[in-house]
């Protein structure tokens, strides 16, 4: 029966140290059977059966998840706010905390006193932030910038799937991207690589599967932030907002860096776990 197969999956994942074994087991069952998690729960209540082929497919996926391969790599999808994004090897899997970073950018974009404010997502990865801005602020014009040959196909795929008419994707280095927009942008947002080289991410899913170029930001983790600060100063119009995601212990260094570059109204923002997660500043 499905119940027994699902409970075996939960036990296997729990024994492997997977943080939310019941959630992951349900989502893997749903992936195999084409059901939502609610649909899986309904099948369990009704005492549904599972076919031998589906059970074998599920078993292989559970084994891979027990080896800490990201759930999103197994299903090929990642939820981000109202979006369902394609992800896999070569692209950073968007995290729940980044949804709050996107909200800061959305709030700033909505507050812009322009009929068609411009936003730029530098280092877009899966396209999560840019697509959230484009779909939730449909009167804005949004540019997504990515230069990883491994990540860009995922950005392209998600941009094509969502098909937001107000979003443009460009393959470019964030240090020099979009010179034609200099002085015109209302919001620049980025989730740059910010892990210091000497630090090892605690989660095996991050350490073993997320692309290194999306994780590591030099000796102190701030190499890309320095570049980002300078590029954003050029892109933003006076009064424009910068939103940067970063590590929980980097707020002071980032504040000093931004102040030295001439940014105003520098503020830090905590995520739902009360850790410093983002810094905003005004041009």
pLDDT in tens, 113-138: 999 999 999 999 999 999 999 999 99
Whole-number Cα distances in Å, 91 to 12, 61, 151, 152:
27, 20, 5, 8
In terms of DSSP H, where are the helices of 140-279?
152-162, 204-209, 212-215, 223-235, 251-261
Is residue 94 pLDDT above 90, yes or no?
yes
Confidence band (pLDDT; 50, 70, 90) for 247?
very high
Largest CA distance in the chain: 64
Parallel/antiparallel/unpaired status of strands 77-80 and 83-86: antiparallel
Confidence band (pLDDT; 50, 70, 90) for 202?
confident
pTM for the predicted model, two decimal places: 0.93
Contact 133, 165 (CB under 8 A): no
Give the CA count within 13 Å in the CB-facing half-sphere of 106. Answer: 18
Is residue 64 pLDDT above 90, yes or no?
yes
Query: How much is the pLDDT for 272?
Result: 87
What's the CA gap between 179 and 174, in Å, rounded? Answer: 10
pLDDT average, residue stretch 102-117: 97
Higher model confidence: residue 207 or residue 136? 136
Parallel/antiparallel/unpaired status of strands 276-282 and 264-270: antiparallel
What's the CA gap between 260 and 254, in Å, rounded? Answer: 10
């Amino acid at each position: 029966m499905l119940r027994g197969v699902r409970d075996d999956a939960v036990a296997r994942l729990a024994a492997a140290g997977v943080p939310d074994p019941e959630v992951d087991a349900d989502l893997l069952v749903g992936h195999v059977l084409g059901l939502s998690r609610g649909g899986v729960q309904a099948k369990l209540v009704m005492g549904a059966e599972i076919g031998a082929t589906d059970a074998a497919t599920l078993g292989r996926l559970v084994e891979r998840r027990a080896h800490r391969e990201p759930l999103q790599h197994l299903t090929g999808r990642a939820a981000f706010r109202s979006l369902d994004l394609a992800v896999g090897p070569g692209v950073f899997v968007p995290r729940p905390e980044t949804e709050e970073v996107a909200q800061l950018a959305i709030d700033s974009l909505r507050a812009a006193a322009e009929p068609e404010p411009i936003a730029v997502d530098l280092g877009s990865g899966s396209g999560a932030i840019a697509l959230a801005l484009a779909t939730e602020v449909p009167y804005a014009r949004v540019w997504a910038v990515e230069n990883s040959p491994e990540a860009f196909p995922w950005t392209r795929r998600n941009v094509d799937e969502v098909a937001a008419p107000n979003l443009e994707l460009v393959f470019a280095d964030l240090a020099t991207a979009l010179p034609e927009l200099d002085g015109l942008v209302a919001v620049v947002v980025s989730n740059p690589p910010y892990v210091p080289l000497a630090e090892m991410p605690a989660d095996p899913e991050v350490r073993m599967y997320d692309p290194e170029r999306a994780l590591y930001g030099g000796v102190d983790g701030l190499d890309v932030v320095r570049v980002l600060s300078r590029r954003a100063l050029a892109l933003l119009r006076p009064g424009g907002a910068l939103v940067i995601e970063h590590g929980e212990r980097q707020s002071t260094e980032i504040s000093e860096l931004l102040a030295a570059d001439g940014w105003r109204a520098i503020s830090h923002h905590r995520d739902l776990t009360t850790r410093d997660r983002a810094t905003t500043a005004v041009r």
